[in-house]
Amino acid sequence: MPGNSSDKQRSPLPAARCQAFYPAFLDISGKPCIVVGGGAVAERKARGLLACGADLTVISPDLTGGLARLKRKGLITHHERRYRRGDLRGAVLVIAATSDPAVNRQIARHAKCPVTVVDQPEIGSMIIPSVVRRGVVSFAVSTFGTSPAAARTIRRDLEKQYPKSVGEYIGFIGKLRERALKAITDRQAREKLFRELASPAMIECARSGGYRQAAGLARKLYTKHMRGIV
């Protein structure tokens, strides 16, 4: 079983099938996940899972230099062999990233949990989107294999539109919200404050003026509401 897979050949899903996928964010921290394949794409997928705290196993006769380093650091468990039936037992998420379509189909059939198949989205039960993370804010984009290049373009556009300061600001108003829920007893007043903190003008302030400027304005809004002068 070759360990590599590329992003070059993908089969787009029919439009009706795309609508059947339910968008969701999965908590995989500390949970067993499996990547079958040891090439560049497998490494990229593995790093994404590790970033979310997955307990990761990689199954492949060979590994990229990057995956080998992760193995030496003890960050992944490596089964240095080809895929076998039963390897997926107990996994909560599986990624088939081999260059052998027959093996990928076999993995998709055997998986009893969400499975994504690189280059063959039509045989998996899950799609991994292109993601932009900004603190507590995450944007996920997918074209369901129709145009991976378009998904990357949209992701890069989102990265430009929403800099780090936006995520920092939203994290900050989340803390103000927790305080307001305890300190402001009038529900309508609280809701008015929450709308003002999250208004287009405040998000734009965080985007163009930066976190400190937006947070300063947010503190003033909170103080005014606390004093009942709004």
CATH architecture classification, 15-128: 3-Layer(aba) Sandwich (3.40)
Average pLDDT over residues 41-53: 96
The DSSP secondary-structure symbol of 17 reads H
Question: For 145-160, what is the mean pLDDT?
Answer: 92
pLDDT at 18 over 80: no
Question: 11 pLDDT band (50/70/90 cuts)?
Answer: low
| Angle, alpha carbons 75-79-81 (nearest 5°) | 145
Residue type, 209: G
178-205 average pLDDT score? 95
- DSSP type of residue 163: -
What is the rounded CA–CA span in Å between residue 222 and residue 197? 8
* Domain assignments of the chain as residue spans, ordered by start: 15-128, 164-227
According to the model, what pLDDT value does residue 21 have? 85
Q: Residue with structure tokens 């804010």? A: 137
Q: What are the structure tokens assigned to 47, written together?
A: 């790093």
Average pLDDT over residues 37-62: 97
Q: What is the tens place of the pLDDT at every residue in 114-131?
A: 999 998 888 999 999 999
What phi and psi values does residue 202 have, to the nearest 5 degrees? -75, -40
Mean pLDDT for the stretch of residues 46-59: 97
Answer whether residue 230 shows pLDDT above 80.
no
Q: Are 95 and 54 in contact (CB under 8 A)?
A: no
Q: Which of 74, 71, 53 is nearest to 63 (CA)?
A: 71
